[in-house]
Amino acid sequence: MSSENKSLLTKGIGGIGAALLVLNGLIGAGIFALPAKMAAELGAFSPYIFLIFGALMLAIVWCFGQLAALYQETGGPVVYAQKGFGDAAAFQTGFIYYLARATAIAANMHVLLLYAGYVWPELNAGIGKSFAIIALTTALIVVNIVGLKAAMRSLDTISVLKLLPFVALIAVGYWQLDFSTALVRSSETVVPAFDTISAGALLTLYAFIGFETVVVTSGETSSPKKTIPRALMLTVSGIAIFYFCVQWLYWHTVGPAKPDSAPLIALANMIFGETGALIMTLTAVVSVAGNLLANM
pLDDT 10s digits, 19-30: 888 888 888 777
Indicate whether 1 belongs to any domain: no
CATH for 184: 1.20.1740.10
CB 172 within 8 A of CB 272: yes
Indicate whether 151 belongs to any domain: yes
pLDDT 10s digits, 124-165: 777 888 888 888 889 888 887 887 777 777 788 888 888 898
CA torsion, points 143, 147, 148, 152, in degrees to nearest 10? -40
Indicate whether 5 belongs to any domain: no
Indicate whether 161 belongs to any domain: yes
Q: What angle do CA 128, 269, 255 make, to 5 degrees?
A: 115
- 213: pLDDT confidence band, cut at 50, 70 and 90? confident
Domain that holds residue 207: 12-295
Indicate whether 2 belongs to any domain: no
Indicate whether 234 belongs to any domain: yes
- 263: pLDDT confidence band, cut at 50, 70 and 90? confident
pLDDT 10s digits, 60-106: 999 999 999 999 888 889 999 999 999 999 999 999 988 988 888 88
**CA within 13 Å, CB half, 275:** 1
Indicate whether 60 belongs to any domain: yes
CB 152 within 8 A of CB 162: no
Domain count of the chain?
1
Q: Can you list the alpha helix ranges (DSSP code H) found in the chain?
A: 3-6, 15-26, 30-42, 46-70, 77-85, 87-119, 126-146, 148-176, 179-187, 194-208, 213-216, 224-253, 263-272, 274-295
What is the structure's pLDDT at 260? 66
- Prediction pTM value: 0.82
